[in-house]
Chain A
Amino acid sequence: MLHYDFEWSVLWRYPYGGMFIQGIWTTVHLSLFSWMIAILLGLTVCLCRMTPLRAARFLGGAYVELFRNIPLLVQLFFWYFAAPSLLPRELELWLYGNVKDLGYLVAVIALGTYTAARVSEAIRSGLLAVPRGQYRAAHSTGLSGGQTYRHVVLPYALRISWPLLTTEFLTCFKNSALAMTIGVLETTGTAAYVDSFTFHGLETTTAASCVYLATSGAVILTMSRIEKRMRIPGLIRRGYN
């Protein structure tokens, strides 16, 4: 039979209960900060790709291909182990000596810049799906380029990008688990940490899984509710010119 004694109390017993709370909270703000970077940087990169400026388009394209085609784990290791040694010696020492949570900082940056490449693509596909006729109609009434974007193109594109952005946010949230590999005690890291003291990995990883499932579920519900509210009867995708 099963040679395993369940002991669910490791999830709330002192001191582990506090660790789990701490870990879940870390997962939440780690993924939210990364997401903020991803949205701002992703939008910037996307706009770069859409400008008539050739150099900007090239840089934007290069960014996307570089960041989304290297495994996130490799990027994390690069930022954590390799990047600091590229800095001047004094700065590197200062970094290790004074930044208490270097792993956390690196995780936010790595996850943010990686997700930005994917967010950029999600926004771009929305913008590209807006028919040319919409621009023409807006311009023909005398609206300026900025007004056309603000009132016609972006609201249209956002509705198309919305499901993709939801997926990207969930991926970002789940990817935050990789931060444990550089010593960040977020949910997954905490589960492994508590297991190393108690040998109750089955309980801790089950708990971690439930945390991810529940949070994802809540996010999906919220986003699809917003999506429904934004949904417009008859918004269809067309490709003529």
Chain B
Amino acid sequence: MIQIRQVSLWYRDGRKVVDNVSAEIRRGQTVVICGPSGSGKSSLLRCINGLERFQEGEILVDGISVSSPSTDLHALRAEIGMVFQHFELYPHMTVLDNITLAPRKVRKKTRQEAETKAMELLNRVGIPDKAAVYPGELSGGQQQRVAIARSLAMEPKAMLFDEPTSALDPEMIKEVLDVMVDLARSGMTMVVVSHEMGFAREVADEVIFMDAGRFIEKKATASFFASAENPRTREFLSRILT
């Protein structure tokens, strides 16, 4: 479903932020990426849906190259949902409008169709009563669940999560993770940047530890936790698992 082949990325200063990484995420799989701040996780994630241009390598989504000039990036992005650390809901729109904007403008759905679908999704993420409210009036956990609903409204083939619970108070983390676990179990293809190792254990097929732009450790979930080889991985794990 998503193939990442020897991708490297650097910004203006020339320092490699993503350094020759490869991975394959098959349909229905969930892959969790963890690693210290600044290691290039967000940048890599943004490469997958073409929000960031990379200089070397290739990424294929459903066989379509993200970086090829002939690719319709807007169409490609419409097929990949993305959830951000800081939610990024549109503050001037109600929850319902946040969710229906892209389906109406990109998929050309009628308002009625889009709203019916949106209500269904709000039900699914557990806040059907918040449709008419503005994002600023919601808790962080509720905002993030709206953001997930906004992505799902496009009926994406895959979902990217960039530290979806890092900006949340502890008591709200679970409500968001529950939604994500459901999603993973329902067969969604997911790439999740997160330090929630409980979540990784529960639903990830593969876990990747990233540091300084490289994949230091990349293993099936069980063996990642049982037998991480690299000392840096083990040190990182011991720090976040306590």
Which chain A residues have a beta carbon within 8 Å of chain B's beta carbons?
131, 133-134, 136-144, 147, 151-152, 155-156, 159, 230, 232-236, 238, 240
Contacts and interface: CB of A to CB of B under 8 A. Distances in A.
29 contacts: A131-B86, A131-B88, A133-B84, A133-B88, A134-B88, A136-B46, A137-B147, A138-B90, A138-B102, A139-B74, A140-B49, A140-B77, A141-B78, A141-B81, A141-B102, A141-B150, A141-B154, A142-B77, A142-B102, A142-B106, A143-B101, A147-B105, A147-B106, A151-B105, A152-B101, A155-B92, A159-B92, A232-B92, A234-B134
B137 to A, nearest CB: 5
A139 B51 contact: yes
A143 B74 contact: yes
A143 B108 CA distance: 11
Interface of B: 46, 49, 51, 74-75, 77-82, 84, 86, 88-92, 101-102, 105-106, 134-137, 147, 150-151, 154, 160
Contacts of B101: 141, 143, 151-152
Given A137-B84, A140-B49, A238-B86, A232 B91 contact: yes
A80 to B, nearest CB: 44
Nearest to B102: A141
Given A155-B92, A238-B86, A142 B134 contact: no
A140 B134 contact: no
Contact of B82 (A131, A136, A240): A136
A136 B90 CA distance: 11
B91 A143 contact: no
A154 to B, nearest CB: 10
B41 to A, nearest CB: 14
B91 A142 contact: no
Contacts of B147: 137
Contact of B137 (A133, A138, A233): A233
Contacts of A151: 90, 101, 105
10 A-B pairs with the lowest CB-CB distances in the bound complex, closest first: A234-B136, A142-B78, A141-B102, A137-B88, A140-B82, A233-B136, A133-B88, A142-B106, A235-B91, A142-B77
Contacts of B135: 234
Give the one of B77, B78, B89, B160 with max A CB within 10 A.
Answer: B77
Contacts of A144: 74
A44 to B, nearest CB: 24
Given A234-B134, A234-B137, A142 B92 contact: no
Given A133-B84, A136-B51, A156-B90, 7 more contacts: A133-B86, A133-B88, A141-B154, A144-B74, A151-B105, A234-B137, A238-B86
B19 to A, nearest CB: 20
Contacts of A143: 74, 101-102, 105-106
B90 A142 contact: no
A106 to B, nearest CB: 40
Contacts of A234: 91, 134-137
A233 B91 CA distance: 8
Contacts of A230: 92
A232 B91 CA distance: 7
Nearest to A150: B105
Contacts of A236: 91, 136
A131 B84 CA distance: 13
Contacts of B150: 141
A134 B82 CA distance: 12
Contact of A142 (B75, B88, B160): B75
Contacts of B88: 131, 133-134, 136-137
A142 B136 CA distance: 24
A147 B80 CA distance: 18
A151 to B, nearest CB: 6
B105 A232 contact: no
Contacts of B105: 143, 147, 151
A222 B165 CA distance: 42
Contact of A134 (B81, B90, B151): B90
A230 B92 CA distance: 8
A140 B73 CA distance: 10
A184 B77 CA distance: 58
B77 to A, nearest CB: 5
